[in-house]
Amino acid sequence: MNFEDSPEEAAYRQKVRAWIAANAPDMSHLTPEERRPWQEGHKEVASKWQAIKADAGYGCISWPKAWGGAEGTAIDEAIFNQEEARAGLQFNYFTTGLHMLLPALLEHNKDEVSLSLIPPAIRGDKIWCQLFSEPSSGSDSAGVRSAAVKDGDDWVINGQKVWNSGAQISDYGMLIARTDPDVPKHKGLTAFWLDMKTPGVEVRPIKMMSGDNELNEVFLTDVRIPDSQRVGEVGGGWKVIISTLMNERAAFGSVSGLNWRDTMKLAKQVASWEGTAMDDPAFREWLADLYIDAEAVRLLSFRTLTSLSKGTAPGPEGSVGKLLWSGMAQNLSSQALDILDHGGLIDDPASALMNGAFQHRFLWAPGLRLGGGTDEIMKNIIAERVLGLPGDVRVDKNVPFRDIPRGR
């Protein structure tokens, strides 16, 4: 047990801290509004930064050299991420591609075309999105209805995807389609990658309750793609889903967003009965509770790293971390609005404290408890896979997909 950097790690940290300081992109020209993810100015800075990192070998630190990585350790990568966060450089545009989809792609496909997709993704020139969820297939990720039908050497895909983060600016997508509705649902799925400009792909943004637009619906109408863009085996789509979801949950430890430090910064500026909110004993007690959860999320991510660096699969801490972290985001934004009191009502970035970041988070947090696996699904995983409790009675397991009861 040791939570300090080893001498090598400390040296690496020092090196990357200096490098980041020397190369960090200038964000001072961005307005408060533009500092929010998915705003044009914000994305431009992110792309620039990704290219700078890629040129210096920090684009994908832990990947093998053959894939364009630096063959660093998972710990090196985590250190780099921590230092980036420390410098206020937290961008999510490339995570889906680099940490979820492309590793899964390369796990299943080793051909040259697949490999050629990597370098532009590492440089941030090409962005990837995940086209898994559908109107009737969210938690039930094997419930996909979009159909892929073989036609010569091609597949023809029809259906609808939804909640696809970043599809509106993505160059490529990885999608799951049903290739056989006559077998049980997990067995009839196949994964593909595709260029988002392929004829028949239509992306329509969804406005979320926070007012942001980075989720999308993606309609697929007679989309024709060659069999060479299949990922894994025909009928092997479920395996690809599992690979990406494992990658996703393993990545949650390093999640960005407002934390206890920001909350304290706010509390120190907000008047209370005596002094500031920071002087209020009830707030202090709440803060202590927040901190232990936040710290657990951070430290549990080290457990993931430890497993990864020993070459063993990460444990259930991914689900624990996801559950804690999204609940925390809701809790801390709610508490922040409460200490702001009447001031919590104001969400105009120009006049609210800290640019209204907490108000914005407040309206975003409900989505965090859903995306990447809902609270309920995380708890099912913990109860069933970790504690070994029996699963729910399943009516959808051993019947052909087309016979599964469906509602809306």
Ligand X SMILES: Cc1cc2nc3c(=O)[nH]c(=O)nc-3n(C[C@H](O)[C@H](O)[C@H](O)COP(=O)(O)OP(=O)(O)OC[C@H]3O[C@@H](n4cnc5c(N)ncnc54)[C@H](O)[C@@H]3O)c2cc1C
Residue 92 binds to ligand X (criterion: CB under 6 A): no
Report the alpha-carbon distance of residue 58 to residue 60 in Å, rounded: 6
Q: Which residues 6+ apart lie within 8 Å of 243 measured at CB?
A: 103, 104, 107, 108
Query: Least distance from C-beta 153 to ligand X, angstroms?
Result: 27
CA atoms within 13 A on the CB side of 371: 18
Q: Are 177 and 159 in contact (CB under 8 A)?
A: yes
Q: Which residues 6+ apart lie within 8 Å of 81 measured at CB?
A: 254
Closer to ligand X by CB, 198 or 374: give it. 374
Q: Are 156 and 223 in contact (CB under 8 A)?
A: yes
Closer to other proteins by CB, 114 or 141: give it. 141
Q: Are 250 and 95 in contact (CB under 8 A)?
A: no
Using the rule CB under 8 A, which residue among 341, 384, 385, 386 binds other proteins? 341
Residue 377 binds to ligand X (criterion: CB under 6 A): yes
Return the residue matching tokens 């943004």.
205
Q: Are 101 and 121 in contact (CB under 8 A)?
A: no
Show the tokens assigned to 145: 């209805």
Residue 179 binds to ligand X (criterion: CB under 6 A): no
CA 364 to chain centroid, in Å, comes to 14
Query: Least distance from C-beta 326 to ligand X, angstroms?
Result: 10
Binding mask 130-169 for ligand X (x = CB under 6 A): x-xx----xxx----------------------xxx----
Residue 367 binds to ligand X (criterion: CB under 6 A): yes
Report the alpha-carbon distance of residue 208 to residue 11 in Å, rounded: 43
Closer to other proteins by CB, 126 or 186: give it. 186
Residue 216 binds to ligand X (criterion: CB under 6 A): no
DSSP tag of 26: P
Enumerate residues 374-403 that contact other proteins by CB under 8 A.
374-376, 379-380, 392, 394-396
- Residues interacting with ligand X, by CB under 6 A? 130, 132-133, 138-140, 163-165, 215, 367, 370-371, 374, 376-377, 380, 392
- Residues interacting with other proteins, by CB under 8 A? 133, 136, 138-140, 143, 162-163, 206-209, 211, 215, 269-273, 276-277, 280, 282-283, 330, 334, 337-348, 351, 353, 359, 362-363, 366-367, 369-371, 374-376, 379-380, 392, 394-396, 404-408
